[in-house]
Structure 1
Amino acid sequence: MSRRVVVTGLGVCAPNGVGIADFTYAMQNGKSGIRFQPKLEELNFGCQIAGEPLVKDNLVNRYFTPLQLRGLNASGIVYGVIAGLDAWKDAGLPLADNDTPDWDAGLVFGTGILGVDKFRESIHLVDEKNVRRLGSTTVLQTMASGISAYLGGLIGCGNQVTTNSSACTTGTEAILMAYDRIASGKSERMLAGSCSDSGPYVWGGFDAMRILPRNHNDNPTAASRPMSATASGFVPGSGAGALVLESLESAKARGAKIYAEVLGGAINSGGQRAEGSMTAPNNEAVQRCIIEAVQNAGISPSDIDAINGHLTATAKDAQEIENWCRALERSGGDFPYVNSFKGLFGHCLAAAGSIESVATILQFGHGQLFGNVNCEDVHPEIAERIDVSRIPTKTFSYDPKFIAKASFGFGDVNACVIFGKCND
């Protein structure tokens, strides 16, 4: 039989808060992390705003040794290590000793584009025929699994240590991959999360596609407008989120605090068939993913109290709400409460699913649902399908039992995880 899996640790490095305390305050109070970026103006970007974590040097020094910091030029790795180690510490778990790894601990930590600034630096040195100046850490910083390698070594994981990459679905997929490993009895505890680099070399391609807002450079906090009639594109973001998943037996045996239970979920793809493409979802696949997630969690669609959607502030928001309505067979005033956190920190790409999952889970412990910002003018197609009261604009007291969190990514890939309040 499948074992029950719970969340016992959280860590985050987000544009609107580094560390759980600051992040929680920001989410509760609608504090935005989207800011004007002078470097984007200098490079003639149309969109000159972004969500980027504010990480001070003295904070970084707590997580890396001077030797590890030498030549370190990969912001995603910095974000991921901060979030990952914070989550491990929050769970009350020790680092393995120097002689033996923890055979029951592993991690799945995903990313999209990692070490892009290090790549640029390396290409320049190679082209200048200065290969010897690349340094011994270049490979670690530029390989996709660099983040899992860093964290696996720092923690001392002896179980599976790997990196996944599925565009915007990466973080949510990582959680479900870690969940499956524990539920099947192959591990007792797993660190799950994802990270994304900052900077123009990551965000430039999206600016070229003209899917980023260009009319809010002088008003950054109003730019990201999920589910709004005046949404004009997603604001790029970066950072990392991390969750410690653990078997319920292990958590109870050591008296760990439990944030929530991972009840199950589903991962699929639309195969870029029908209306699906590299950048657009196959609606049938999205609906099937949600339906299968609910079934896998062993609950009914009517049990879902709230949804944390993908909802990026693009033309696809209305279609996503339609897909939720069809999958859950709920609409109007019967629709669950729904929120999108991208209004506060933008679309953090590969890190989106994990950062948003951390925020989703925090709602259980605080007995709240966090509000949507910049959504006073609900998109008319959304207002036709669900009552606007289901889209709260302010944080309010609520005791959710079941929350569905979904991510839908480039390449027509989908993931939906069901979190539940744990009463054991």
Structure 2
Amino acid sequence: MNNRVVITGLGVVSPNGTDLAQFRQAIRNGVSGIRHDPQLEKLLFSCQIAGKPVIDNERLQQYFKPLELRGLESTGIMYGVIAGLDAWKDAGLEPVDTDGTPDWDSGSVFGTGTSGIDKFREAIYKVDALEIRKLGSTVVAQTMNSGVNAYLSGKLGLGNQVCTNSSACATGAESILMAYERIKTGRAVKMLAGSTSDSGPYIWGGFDALKVCPYRYNDKPEKGCRPMSATASGFVPGSGAGAMVLETLESALDRGARIYAEILGGHVNSGGQRGSGTMTAPNSSGVQRCITMALKEAGVDKQEVDVINAHLTATSKDVTEIKNWVAVLERSGKDFPYINSIKGMIGHCISAAGSIESVASVLQLAEGFIFPNINCEDLHPDIEKLVDPARIPTVCLEQKFNILAKASFGFGDVNACIIFKRYEHG
């Protein structure tokens, strides 16, 4: 089979917006969700700023039962469940009745990097103190990587494939492509796709130790993450979750669903940590091949790409990424597509990055705008040599377009690229 796959629901928990309406408003207006984090300061982190969603207990009670909230410490599960259930509702879908038959045609691919680190730390201390009986009944569900999907599938009654992928910063984009393939090949009708990431020092500490996070902006956090900037000095850690409902075009039309966009195809690969590739740096040959194959599988010509939603982390690799896009598309200067990165507003949300950024990408396609690159007033001179600054907007552009390429690259030299298309009704 070769089903057309469309997106009918979106959900997001982001540092600059914990629901779709807030998020849309924030990215249109270049609003930063990066703040000073007192806990990181107390723990003597070099980088004491972060992008952390703010979820209060009243909001949590809308998604979790009182018994579920007792002892729930996994922020990744909290974010993922909220984003996932919001996407399902946004698609006009309802959970299966608890006494009914599972929805055999619907499943979920929801990725993460870790799960319940704070809960895991608590468990270690209790075990070491010979207090095993005090661990409680939710340690396993909160600390297994598939915990977020266990919660989501139970709340929705999903009966198709339910799995959790993990590919570092490429996790979110990869989850969408895995769900896309399942629908395209006729093995599912609807799939919830997305990813989530825990918050906190036990996730972010390793990056601070690697000295890849900025330390000069602790007193002005909203200026700290600076993709494509000459003064970029590292990525700001972030967290959250993004989710979308994918389904066959036939199903969406049959039930009169709103269609945000269509997925034409994509590709995942690895640079094998060969050539320029390492554990922390991409092999440019692998990146270029990933983008090339994504365009080929989507049936899209290089000249048809209107907008790139890039990975761009505000590190020295930003220039390399731009060079890779220029090489693949054979376009530069004024001929280069518009390009943006949301990381200036929310930081690098690690395993949730690709899914949150894909939600932002789909909103742009569906509503005809290109969100601004903030903190990019001093464009890196090596990038300016390759791309006309007008193609790197610093204010929101109200502009309809047809094709957006979304790329994510991750630790371990893994790559993912998705080609989204604006859906034309009728």
Which TM-score band (shorter chain)?
over 0.9
CA distance in 2, matches of 1:31, 1:57: 24
Equivalent in the alignment of 1:97: 97
Equivalent in the alignment of 2:29: 29
**C-alpha deviations, 1:185-230, integer Å up to 9, x for none?**
0000000000000000000000001100000000000000000000
Which amino acid in structure 1 is aligned with residue 169 of structure 2? Answer: C
Equivalent in the alignment of 1:321: 322
Which amino acid in structure 1 is aligned with residue 270 of structure 2? Answer: S
Q: Does the 8 Å contact 2:103/2:160 carry over to 1?
A: yes
Matches within 5 A, 1:28-177: 28-98=28-98, 99-177=100-178
**C-alpha deviations, 1:370-409, integer Å up to 9, x for none?**
0100001111111111111100001011111000000000
CA distance in 2, matches of 1:49, 1:350: 19
Which amino acid in structure 1 is aligned with residue 46 of structure 2? Answer: G
Q: Aligned with 1:415: secondary structure? A: strand
By how many angstroms is 1:114 displaced? 1.2
* Percent of pairs with identical residues: 62
Equivalent in the alignment of 1:235: 236
CA distance in 2, matches of 1:394, 1:124: 49
By how many angstroms is 1:257 displaced? 0.1
CA distance in 2, matches of 1:418, 1:299: 8
Q: Aligned with 2:385: secondary structure? A: helix
CA distance in 1, matches of 2:279, 2:403: 31
Q: Does the 8 Å contact 2:366/2:423 carry over to 1?
A: no
Q: Does the 8 Å contact 2:365/2:404 carry over to 1?
A: no
Equivalent in the alignment of 2:284: 283
CA distance in 1, matches of 2:299, 2:177: 15
Equivalent in the alignment of 1:223: 224
Q: Aligned with 1:10: secondary structure? A: strand
Which amino acid in structure 2 is aligned with residue 269 of structure 1? Answer: S
Q: Aligned with 2:331: secondary structure? A: coil
Q: Does the 8 Å contact 2:234/2:315 carry over to 1?
A: yes
Structure 2 residue runs of 5 or longer lacking an equivalent are none
By how many angstroms is 1:140 displaced? 0.4
Q: Aligned with 2:243: secondary structure? A: strand
Q: Aligned with 2:118: secondary structure? A: helix
Matches within 5 A, 1:158-307: 158-307=159-308
CA distance in 2, matches of 1:197, 1:138: 15
CA distance in 2, matches of 1:338, 1:42: 37
Equivalent in the alignment of 2:369: 368
By how many angstroms is 1:422 displaced? 0.8
Equivalent in the alignment of 2:403: 402
Which amino acid in structure 2 is aligned with residue 295 of structure 1? Answer: K
Which amino acid in structure 2 is aligned with residue 53 of structure 1? Answer: P
CA distance in 1, matches of 2:383, 2:114: 33
Q: Aligned with 1:386: secondary structure? A: coil
Which amino acid in structure 2 is aligned with residue 308 of structure 1? Answer: N
CA distance in 2, matches of 1:275, 1:421: 35
Which amino acid in structure 1 is aligned with residue 201 of structure 2? Answer: P
Equivalent in the alignment of 1:6: 6
CA distance in 2, matches of 1:318, 1:148: 36
Q: Aligned with 2:68: secondary structure? A: helix
CA distance in 1, matches of 2:22, 2:56: 14
Equivalent in the alignment of 1:381: 382
CA distance in 1, matches of 2:385, 2:405: 22
CA distance in 1, matches of 2:101, 2:48: 48
Runs of 4+ in 1 over 4 A off after TM superposition: none
CA distance in 2, matches of 1:419, 1:252: 19
- If the length of structure 1 is used for normalisation, what is the TM-score? 0.99
**C-alpha deviations, 1:91-112, integer Å up to 9, x for none?**
0011012221000000000000
Q: Does the 8 Å contact 2:12/2:19 carry over to 1?
A: yes
CA distance in 2, matches of 1:278, 1:411: 4
Which amino acid in structure 2 is aligned with residue 119 of structure 1? Answer: F
**C-alpha deviations, 1:48-75, integer Å up to 9, x for none?**
0000001111000000000111111100
CA distance in 1, matches of 2:181, 2:360: 22
Work out the number of aligned pairs and report it: 424
**C-alpha deviations, 1:299-318, integer Å up to 9, x for none?**
10100000000000000000
- If the length of structure 2 is used for normalisation, what is the TM-score? 0.99
Equivalent in the alignment of 1:419: 420
Q: Does the 8 Å contact 2:17/2:23 carry over to 1?
A: yes
By how many angstroms is 1:365 displaced? 2.3
Structure 1 residue runs of 5 or longer lacking an equivalent are none
